[in-house]
Structure 1
Amino acid sequence: MNVLIAGAGRLGAEVAQVLSASGNTVTVVDPDQMRLDALRGRFAARLVLGDASEAAVQARAEVAHAALVVAATGQDEDNLVISLIAKRRFGVSRVAARVNDDENAWLFDHHWGVDVAVPAATPLVSLIEEATGATDTVALMRLSSAGVGIVETTITEESSSAGLPLGDVELPGGTMVATVVRAGQPTAPRPDLILRPGDELLLVSHAAGEQEIHSAFQ
């Protein structure tokens, strides 16, 4: 999937790293050259200097080829304009925008081209799931320096592992379960823990890919 991220601050950088690690083609746009330089080499992404609230800059960043735009700047007015241009001018199918000030949340709707409004306090994984429409496995981040990937997968009614003890699931080599989140609470990943629909598992691996881990549980 082609993704354009407007804003190379903390949030934009984290989203870019996650989506790049998941195999997406990522473009990051920011008017601050120093911010872009700080991202260079951290992950695979095209870096474009410019203000994404300008149609010409979005055009130069080839936003028309993007399936997803994430407006992640620290200014609500910029995020709204970025969203509107991406949706109305270039026809981007899915636009997610960060809401920095809760009082402005009512503006972030389809009238401004926003499909997903993301409050600033939203956890990163939730932002990615909502923005991309993902509902099962989301690669959270890849710690390239250590060669370690962190992957989340959710057990559903249809999952082959539903109803099985965690210890009975054959994991790919070099992979371990870090925690199981059940009803919003982290649970120790004991071998005798029976997996239930709705359980969210966080796994760490230095060898297996996202699809291998997903297949083990689904």
Structure 2
Amino acid sequence: MRALIAGAGRLGAQIAQVLAAAHNDVTLMDIDPDRIAALSGSIPVPMRVGDACAPDFLEAAGLRGADLIIAVTGRDDDNLVISLLAKRQFAVPRVAARINDGENAWMFTSHWGVDIAVPAATPLISLIQEATGATDTVALLRLSKAGVEVMETVITSRSRTAGAALSDIGLPNGTVIATVVRNGQPTAPAPEMRLCPGDEVLLVSHHATERDVQSAFQ
């Protein structure tokens, strides 16, 4: 998948990490050269300095032919302009835009080219799954200095661990369950807790791969 991310703040940088870890073709953009410079070398994606509200810049950044753009700048008006340009001028199939101020949520519709409106409080992993249609288990964040990876798997009605107690699940070596997100709320992972379809399980591991986690839960 070819994706562009407008806005290299904390959220944009994390999204870029996740998509790059899943072997997608990702470009991260921001109007602030200092912000891009600070991220240089820490995220393995091309980065561009420029105004994503300008069609010429979007063209040069490679938006034409992209599968997805995620507008996560700190300004709602910029996110809407980026979305409208992406949809109307560049015919991008999927456009996700962050809503910084809840009072502006009514504008984040298809009229402005927005396919996926993302409230500021939306968990990162939920945003990425909705925007990309990612697989059940995705690399969320790689903490290379600590040798730790945070991953998530989503329980569905087809998952063999649906209805199972956490204590009965054979986790890969060096892996622990950090939290279970249920109905949008993180829940302490007590051993007797039983998983339900829709649960999002976040795990921390030193050794496991995405395939290992997939095998344990799905």
TM-score scaled by length of structure 1 = 0.89
1:89 is matched with which residue? 89
In 2, Cα distance between equivalents of 1:94 and 1:149: 28
| Contact 2:179–2:186 (CA under 8 A) maintained in structure 1 | no
| Contact 1:180–1:189 (CA under 8 A) maintained in structure 2 | no
Q: Deviations over 1:20-40 (max 9, x none)?
A: 223322101112111111111
Q: Secondary structure at the match of 2:64?
A: helix
Residue 198 of structure 1: CA displacement?
Answer: 3.2
Residue 145 (structure 2) pairs with residue 145 (structure 1): yes
Q: Which amino acid aligns with 2:26?
A: V
Residue 201 (structure 2) pairs with residue 201 (structure 1): yes
In 1, Cα distance between equivalents of 2:18 and 2:48: 18
1:50 is matched with which residue? 50
In 2, Cα distance between equivalents of 1:20 and 1:204: 19
Residue 44 of structure 1: CA displacement?
Answer: 0.9
In 2, Cα distance between equivalents of 1:99 and 1:132: 18
| Contact 2:166–2:189 (CA under 8 A) maintained in structure 1 | no
Residue 59 of structure 1: CA displacement?
Answer: 0.9
Deviating runs (4+, > 6 A) in structure 1? none
Q: Secondary structure at the match of 1:20?
A: helix
| Contact 1:179–1:189 (CA under 8 A) maintained in structure 2 | no
1:24 is matched with which residue? 24
1:71 is matched with which residue? 71
Residue 173 of structure 1: CA displacement?
Answer: 3.0
| Contact 1:151–1:203 (CA under 8 A) maintained in structure 2 | yes
Q: Deviations over 1:15-64 (max 9, x none)?
A: 22222223322101112111111111112110011111111111111112
Q: Deviations over 1:173-206 (max 9, x none)?
A: 332222334453513342x544333333211112
Q: Which amino acid aligns with 1:15?
A: I
Residue 217 (structure 2) pairs with residue 217 (structure 1): yes
Residue 107 (structure 2) pairs with residue 111 (structure 1): no
C-alpha change, 1:182 and 1:7, in structure 2 (3 Å) is closer
C-alpha change, 1:180 and 1:73, in structure 2 (3 Å) is closer
- Structure 2: 5+ residue stretches without partners: none
Residue 184 (structure 2) pairs with residue 187 (structure 1): no
| Contact 1:178–1:189 (CA under 8 A) maintained in structure 2 | no
- Count how many residue pairs are aligned between Structure 1 and Structure 2: 217
- Structure 1: 5+ residue stretches without partners: none
Q: Which amino acid aligns with 1:44?
A: P
C-alpha change, 1:142 and 1:196, in structure 2 (3 Å) is same
In 1, Cα distance between equivalents of 2:181 and 2:10: 26
Q: Which amino acid aligns with 1:4?
A: L
1:178 is matched with which residue? 178
Q: Percent of pairs identical after alignment? A: 58
Residue 135 of structure 1: CA displacement?
Answer: 6.9
1:7 is matched with which residue? 7
| Contact 2:177–2:189 (CA under 8 A) maintained in structure 1 | no
TM-score scaled by length of structure 2 = 0.89
In 1, Cα distance between equivalents of 2:163 and 2:11: 37
